[in-house]
Amino acid sequence: MSSFDDDTRVTTLGTMGDAAGSAVAFAGQVSPAWDIGTNPNGGYLLALAAQAMRQRTPAQPDPLSINVHYLRPGLSGQACLIDTQLLRSGRTLSTVRGTLAQDGQPRLELLAAMGRLDEPAAAAAPLLTLPPPDMPPPEACPGRSAPAQGVGLPILQRLDVRLHPDDAVPGAAGRAELRGWIRFTDERPPDALACLLMADAFPPAVFGLLGLVGWVPTIELTVHLRRRPVPGWLLGRFWSQDLSDGRVIEDGALWDASGQLVVQSRQLALVRQA
């Protein structure tokens, strides 16, 4: 069992309902192993909440589209309650709402369209797709560095993140773009739930333009799962073309080891310059 599976485990607190409008609560524990500084990584919290939401639709376990608003920071090392509501139950697509709360306060508010991704061997060739960036192999790319980012990164005990040599030093790229490889340190194969985490586990793209800017907290994040990934490294590219008034919109994409686009994401975040 991978540490990611352990750290996203949830327990049902009530009778499971499958009728539209039915509500079920789940209990979980926010592990400090996925922290950025002293705050839980937003992608990890998203995956933890999605683990509860996908249990509402076991025949449709994949969040094809999931949107999360971060109302306040999560509390590292503390228990959480995830309230879920099945809004619509269909044969191929269902809609689930979720709220992750800690210490009596909601931390995340989520809405997901749940379905089932095809297995890679059965997936049809895309008619239109975003090509991956040119990248050196992972062994030629430096790892994400806590000293270079200026903050403690306990999450690097769980994730192996390798950055393009041109993007590894904050501010050196001269543009708001970042490219890199990512996988679990225990080499657990990526799946739909892992993709939610990994869509938010790279340094912010604005680091390439501004250098060390302190904390860049996410306000809202949307992740679209396009295909089921094959085992191996995921390749990520994240970029921004809109930064003003202390807020940035960042786009992102992940490709699997076969070169197939598996994730597209977009988030609105605050840029708090040190």
- Reported as a single tens digit per residue, the pLDDT across 173-229 is 899 999 999 999 999 999 999 999 999 999 999 998 988 776 789 999 999 999 999
Q: What are φ and ψ of residue 109, in 5° steps?
A: -125, 125
Instruction: Tell me 238's DSSP state.
Output: E
pLDDT in tens, 155-179: 999 999 999 999 988 888 899 999 9
Confidence grade of residue 16 (pLDDT, cut at 50, 70, 90): low
Give burial (CB, 10 Å; 0-12/13-18/19+) of 181.
buried
Task: In whole angstroms, give the CA distance from residue 186 to residue 166.
Answer: 27
Confidence grade of residue 21 (pLDDT, cut at 50, 70, 90): confident
pLDDT in tens, 73-93: 999 999 999 999 999 999 999
Q: Taking the model in full, what pTM does it have?
A: 0.94
What are the residue boundaries of the structural domains of the chain, listed by start?
Answer: 1-116, 137-274
Given 3.40.50.720, 3.30.2400.10, 3.60.110.10, 2.40.160.210, which CATH number is that of 137-274?
2.40.160.210
For domain 1-116, the question of CATH label 3.10.129.10 is answered with yes
